[in-house]
Structure 1
Amino acid sequence: MGTRDDLAEATLETLPLTVAVLDSTGRILLTNRSWREFNPDDDDHVGVNYVATAEMGDEEGDDEHARRAVEGLEAVLEGERETFSMEYPCHTPEEKQWFLMRASRFTVDGDVRVSVVHLDITDRKLAELDAEAALERLREQQRNLEHVLERIDGLVRDVTDAAVGAGSRSEIEHGVCRELADTDPYVLAWIGRVDVTTRRVSPREWAGHREVPLENDELVLSSDESHPAVQALREGEPRAIQDVAEFDHADHWWPTGAGDLFRSVAAIPLEYGDVTYGVLVVFAEDADAFDERELLVLESLAGTVSTAMNAIEARRMLTTETIVELEATIEDPSLFVTALATELGASVTYRGLTYDKEGTALAVFYVDCTGGVEAVAADLDGVEDATVLSEYEDGTLLELALSDGIVTALADHGGVIQRFDAVPDDRVADLALQLPNGQSARSVYDLLEERYDRTELISYHESDRPTRTLRDVAAELDSKLTDRQEMALRKAFYADYFEWPRGVSGEELAESMGVSRSTYHQHLRAAQRKLLEELFAVDPTSEG
């Protein structure tokens, strides 16, 4: 039997668990090596009442874990339960530790004994805590995502309602700024438009903290390049500053007195196709508010706003004839008009534009020289073909078939060329356009600046004119035609002079008016010219 006890004691000594055996009163009868090594003063605690020691820890520190241990041990010692286990922390200044205590009741020769085992579960506990922390982070992310989705859904709905339900562009701008400023984390929003003539961005509508004035000065596109609004307009992409406090140039464009009201700012261009309607600028209270997801949301909202603005403009164009008259000079030797004037040493005057059945632009120019004009024009870049329509004593009427170049681009923007002339000495082309709205004018001017060496805006005039009716055209034509011109035109029309074969000759019409044949044709051609001027809006004072 002694051999068996020796074996059990030796085995107990090698266990990596701290083990103590108690008698029925709670006194320690036996401990193993792990127990003694864990004790700082290398005491085996044999003879010490373990339960009483635990009670003292409870009294001194009001330790909930000690109280539970005492209650559990007493229940096992008194036979109320066979086992008891609990987990408890046992931290030191150097590290955090957790243990599992397990007490089991047994008897030896009729005497009650209780084994108390302490197992180090620190690694498992740390893993559990890490898992719980990760789970809480996931829950927090889910809550944040749900909040973001709810906020985005409400924001998109409110901004869309404000944009689609507006009756004017100003109403759209005001409603969108108000909705954005009322949505966390935004605190201020403004929408700016670009003045083509001054190259300045002017805030037209804004909403947010009323005690904060907006930028004192307008933004100049050519100089305020640090401002995200200017960057967004120039590059056609959203731009954001995540921490304004660390931005070197922020003092040049902060709203005066902003203080701590905002820390980050984003700017999104308002574009529909090739037309730029302005820029949306949004401020947030916190730094790093405009991450990639937030910018995508704002970019989507900007698309909705731009679409609504385009619809407003389209509806307005159905009821009014919006006219923007723009004049500019283009200095670039590669421009075909300038190159033609330089090569021929002659002035080139624009007469009109049409298209063939393949859609190729056919531009008609008058050149005040003769001989060799067709060959020179055909060799120019951008010219597919050149045809002489008519030659006069001192000039040539020339038709140029143009490839996909500036003339086609201007037409794509709704531009109607009024003048596109060049003289050989200036090496500069003069361009005059009529455009449907200010946005088209802005886009055209940007296009010219991008394509050519130097573009200078000479004049810009915008006006709304009522849509012309047939009665308006007839009244205008009536004011321009003389009585004899109108009579010549009506007689020719009523007598089927314009049919083929003709129902009447020019001599017969002239005789009916009591004038010579040449005088009649002079009246008729003058009337036809004025009629076509009304139709094609050709300047009657143009040369040639």
Structure 2
Amino acid sequence: MVNRDDIAKSALETLPITVAVIDHDGEILLTNEAWREFGPGEPDDHVGTDYLATATVEDEHARRAVEGLEDVLDGRRETFAMEYPCHTPDRKQWFLMRANRFRVDGDVRVSIVHLEITERKLAEIDAAESADRLREQRRALEHVLDRVDGLIRDVTDAAVGAGTRDEIERRVCRRLVDTDPYCLAWIGRLDVTSGRIAPSEWAGRDDVPLEDDGLLLGSDERHPAVRAVETDEATVVQNVEAVAEASRWWPVGVDTAVESVAAVPIRYNDVTYGVLVVFADEVDAFDDRELLVLESLAGTIATAMNAIETRRMLTSEGVVELEVAIEDSSLFLTAIASELDASVTFRGQTYDGDGTPLVFLHVDRSAGVVEAVTDLERIADVTTISSSDDGTLLELTLDDGVVTALADHGAVLRRFDTDATVADVALELPSSQSARSVYDLLDDRFDRVELRSYRETERPTETPQDLAARLESSVTDRQLMALRKAYFAGYFAWPRPVSGEELAESMDISRSTFHQHLRAAQRKLLDELFDGDPTSEG
């Protein structure tokens, strides 16, 4: 017959937990294999040892264990359990101790089990730390949201409420440095003639003037402001100590420690007004969330500047005259001049009924013009308006949108001539920002663009553009096209190089219809000149 005590003892040996049994006096009566092999040194069953006496009195966890075991031995409680650390130099570990009171033949016995719970404890600690981190992140986020909300509101109020661009820049910079961790903010403007960024307004915690370091576009300058303007994207340096030349990004004599910097272009549509540069006294101050706020602020600033610039343009008589030379064989004028070995002069531009731009060019050559031009890239269609010994007047439908792009920027073409290598372009623009935008447009599109002249001047109170705008609002599209075609073709010169029948054919209408459109447009033009009634029928 199988002995149950033998089975129990054998089973006890296989358990992966440390087990011991003590008597009423605390003497160890029995241990299992896991108990004997636990701990450093040779295996020891500790049988006959006073278990309670082995506890270290100075150890808080040992005192708790002894008190709990005494309660169980004396019958004040049937069970006792506690968790305790038992770290080694190599690893951290935790155990669960559990004591249960029972009797054998009337004698009190207590089983003591030690179960390792390290994995569970580490998971609990990690969960608690994660909860703490989440609470801290939530508190930080609430703080950031409060700060950001106030910052965006104040900067928006400052930008929208300002009456001039200078006032916008001054208010914005002062408000930014009132916000931790920002310690300096400045706004730089672009000089179209020199290609430099010049600080126009700044504010900082220390009253030290900001030096104009002459940040040059197109150089090997690594300043974040230069890179932000050249790439049209925000540029961040999270640790300025890692950049050798960063010491000169900061005013000399300022005691505040500069740790990071962000530069954000101030851009409205495709017009760049400048760059916003913000310094912080913390490393890694400009994370994605912070950068998104600055980009939003830069957009608000640009919108406010555009509104002020628009108001100024409507009331000011100022105009920017810009002259550039373009050397690029892909420019349609240069390609035509090179193919024909002739000089090409831009006469003007209009639009057909579908809004497709039509460009009028004069080529000082008569033979083989259309055939040569038709085969060129970027030329969708070619029509000869007139031809004489002096040259050929062409009407082109272009795939190249440079002329349209210039018009979209508010540019008025005053000259656009070329030989086989260099195109000479003269433009009038409403502001220095639009001039810079146009220059950047040309510089990005063509191989070589040279700035030959830049001048800000006063335009007359009544401009041809004003007259043209009123005329365009009073005539039909076909009337305006007839008038422009006649003018660009030299129809009003004497002797006429082109007939009304030829112009009518170019518009795919009859000669009588062409003259009807032309005379109606002429009368409305004269009405504008002599204060007539441009709304009268005809």
Which TM class, normalised by the smaller chain length?
A: 0.7 to 0.9
2:158 matched residue in structure 1: 162
Give percent identity, aligned residues only: 64
1:400 matched residue in structure 2: 395
Whole-Å separation in 1 of the counterparts to 2:362 and 2:88 = 98
Whole-Å separation in 1 of the counterparts to 2:109 and 2:54 = 18
Q: Kindly tell me: are residues 325 and 89 of structure 1, through their superposed partners in 2, closer, same or farther at Cα, counting changes over 3 Å?
A: same
The offset of 1:432, in angstroms, is 1.7
- Classify the secondary structure of the residue corresponding to 2:113: strand
The 5 A counterparts of 1:45-194 are 45-54=46-55, 57-58=56-57, 61=58, 63-194=59-190
8 Å contact kept, 2:366–2:392: no
The offset of 1:439, in angstroms, is 1.2
Q: Kindly tell me: are residues 370 and 130 of structure 1, through their superposed partners in 2, closer, same or farther at Cα, counting changes over 3 Å?
A: closer
- Pairing 1:450–2:451 present: no
2:433 matched residue in structure 1: 439
Whole-Å separation in 2 of the counterparts to 1:102 and 1:361 = 91
2:213 matched residue in structure 1: 217
One-letter code aligned to 2:279: F
8 Å contact kept, 2:183–2:256: no
Whole-Å separation in 2 of the counterparts to 1:2 and 1:453 = 101
1:21 matched residue in structure 2: 21
Q: Which moved more, 1:374-383 or 1:433-442?
A: 374-383
User: Per-residue displacement from partner, 1:352-411 (whole Å, max 9, x unpaired)?
Assistant: 4443433344455566676776666666655533444586xx845835334243322211
2:30 matched residue in structure 1: 30
Find the partner of 2:271 among 271, 275, 280. 275
Q: Kindly tell me: are residues 106 and 315 of structure 1, through their superposed partners in 2, closer, same or farther at Cα, counting changes over 3 Å?
A: same
8 Å contact kept, 1:362–1:399: no
8 Å contact kept, 1:105–1:113: yes
User: Per-residue displacement from partner, 1:313-354 (whole Å, max 9, x unpaired)?
Assistant: 222223224411112223345444455566667655555444
Q: Kindly tell me: are residues 99 and 321 of structure 1, through their superposed partners in 2, closer, same or farther at Cα, counting changes over 3 Å?
A: same
RMSD: 3.6
Q: Kindly tell me: are residues 73 and 374 of structure 1, through their superposed partners in 2, closer, same or farther at Cα, counting changes over 3 Å?
A: closer
8 Å contact kept, 1:91–1:97: yes
One-letter code aligned to 1:385: V
Q: Kindly tell me: are residues 37 and 219 of structure 1, through their superposed partners in 2, closer, same or farther at Cα, counting changes over 3 Å?
A: same
Whole-Å separation in 2 of the counterparts to 1:9 and 1:146 = 61
User: Per-residue displacement from partner, 1:187-236 (whole Å, max 9, x unpaired)?
Assistant: 22222111111111111122223255535421111214422222222222
- Classify the secondary structure of the residue corresponding to 1:115: strand
User: Per-residue displacement from partner, 1:405-458 (whole Å, max 9, x unpaired)?
Assistant: 33222111111112223467xx43332211111111011111222233332222
Whole-Å separation in 1 of the counterparts to 2:425 and 2:271 = 20
One-letter code aligned to 2:52: V
Q: Kindly tell me: are residues 414 and 44 of structure 1, through their superposed partners in 2, closer, same or farther at Cα, counting changes over 3 Å?
A: same
Which one has a bigger Cα radius of gyration? 1
1:385 matched residue in structure 2: 382
The offset of 1:253, in angstroms, is 4.2
Find the partner of 1:430 among 424, 432, 435. 424
User: Per-residue displacement from partner, 1:490-535 (whole Å, max 9, x unpaired)?
Assistant: xxxxxxxxxxxxxxxxxxxxxxxxxxxxxxxxxxxxxx9xx98x97
- Classify the secondary structure of the residue corresponding to 1:223: coil
Q: Kindly tell me: are residues 238 and 2 of structure 1, through their superposed partners in 2, closer, same or farther at Cα, counting changes over 3 Å?
A: closer
The offset of 1:42, in angstroms, is 4.5
One-letter code aligned to 1:91: H
The 5 A counterparts of 1:110-509 are 110-211=106-207, 213-251=209-247, 253-256=249-252, 261-338=257-334, 349-364=345-360, 382=378, 384-388=381-385, 395=390, 398=393, 400-403=395-398, 404-422=400-418, 427-463=421-457, 468=462
Whole-Å separation in 2 of the counterparts to 1:382 and 1:140 = 60
Q: Aligned pairs, how many?
A: 468
Whole-Å separation in 2 of the counterparts to 1:16 and 1:372 = 101
Q: Kindly tell me: are residues 407 and 120 of structure 1, through their superposed partners in 2, closer, same or farther at Cα, counting changes over 3 Å?
A: closer
8 Å contact kept, 2:198–2:212: no
